[in-house]
Structure 1
Amino acid sequence: MHTPRVALVTGSGTGVGAATVTALAARGWHVVIHYARSETEARATEAACRSVGEAAGAQTLLLQGDVADDTACRALVQATLDRWGQLDALVNNAGMTSFAGAANWDAIDAQTFQRIVGVNAMGAFQMIRAAAPHLQASGGCVVNVSSTAGALGIGSSVPYIASKGALNAMTLYFARALAPAVRVNAVCPGLITTRWFSDGIGEEGFRKVKAGYEAAAPLARASEAEDVAEAILWLIEGARSTTGELLMLDGGMHLGARSGVPVPGRG
């Protein structure tokens, strides 16, 4: 009898995380839907996972917690094991930023900086540390949801850029440290058409940034949450010879803008 695989996706109530758990459930994965504050949206995502996953036998588990808290990270992993007895994939998607602008340094205080790094970088480290022995036992994988900000130094704020740079470096470290049993990769999206950006800079500001991005990007498009989820699923299910990869998902923007078009803000 086939044993279903189990995925824990942090920050999966909305956006990329929600698209990822929904796609996994449709493929028969048991999924943990995790949220920090967005309970209403997370419950809606859980219902969507149950709907698309019913025929495939997928099960769901809804959990709340702050990934900046190591105790909460360990509890997320333990609750997953208590429910299904295994863990096959960890997706570190939980993240936050401050839309202060990369050059608006005075708007960033120490508390804000530490909080962003605590969620985006320390949170991923704590989740990997808690999950590592169980992923090694299953021959599983980790996918970190990073950003082009961490590779290019362009993004919504200095602490966000720093946190994603740290996440990229940790991806390389853990790819070595957990090999050969566990593959560790990262996806690095640029602009994504989710509420993350529109909530941060307003609908009108987002429309302007999106239009500029699409005018400049070599592929003339920004990514949708489902585009990123598709790449995450490939790294989980199909990339058997891939580890330590930082996969750029930005419509080619990391190559530079198309000829004669100014490069807009990214990350």
Structure 2
Amino acid sequence: MARIRYAARTEAEIAAARTASAKLPDIWSTGVVAVWETDPDAVAAVLPPPLEPTARPLVRVTVSTVALPGYPLGAGSFAVAAAHRGTEGWYPLVMPMTHERALTGGREVFGEPKKLGEVTVERDGPAVRAALARHGIAFVEIRGAVGDPLPLPEPAQKTDFYFKFLPAVDGSGFDLGPVLVHCTRTERIRRLERVTGEVVLRESRYDPVADLPVRSLIEITLGEKTTDQKGRVAERVSPRDLLPYLHQRYDDPQQALDGPPEGSA
């Protein structure tokens, strides 16, 4: 009988697949990173327990094109600074990706809040533009002029926090208890340039990042980097505590009832 590709794999085939995935070459990305200080109350409001705010209410946006073998990938992240039991890192609110393949592993294995979207990094001479868009709205746009090269930092470890869970079949709560994941990445940078410019946040009911406005822009950079990553379950979390934040992960129809904060532009 011909081999049926949806049939069960042997233990040897499963082991070979794991070995192959563990030996991937360095994958380099070119991206724009913007960091700014926002309203501390806004950061505190978006952090599910047991995450807590850090001393500074920072937002970090990354917009990258990734040189994946076989096809290019656009990858983005909009994250706020957070801490968990003495470990400081970033809690991403939304991570737009341009291909389905990039969604599944991150969401199912690590609990990353990935969604299909448009990710753009364009450079024309010194002018650079980077944007994250969904539902026809570029809800984050970074634009500016590339300046002098910056000193290359030493390889550094960074931590992202994710919540991994399965919504209940009956639509109420969770089928399995949610867990908080620490994902650690060792980042190596081979090119880094300063960008002088601005960050524009646009109103979107599905990606309401405009609620975390730019109060003080700290830096914008353009660079090339590669990272590896490892995840671990840090602790099991209270379903009751996490449930009010479930809408962060999905395009919830109830968001049609949400509006921008009073007094916003």
TM-score (norm 1): 0.25
TM, length-normalised to structure 2: 0.25
Bigger strand share: 2
Between Structure 1 and Structure 2, whose CA radius of gyration is higher?
Answer: 2
Choose between structure 1 and 2: higher helix proportion: 1
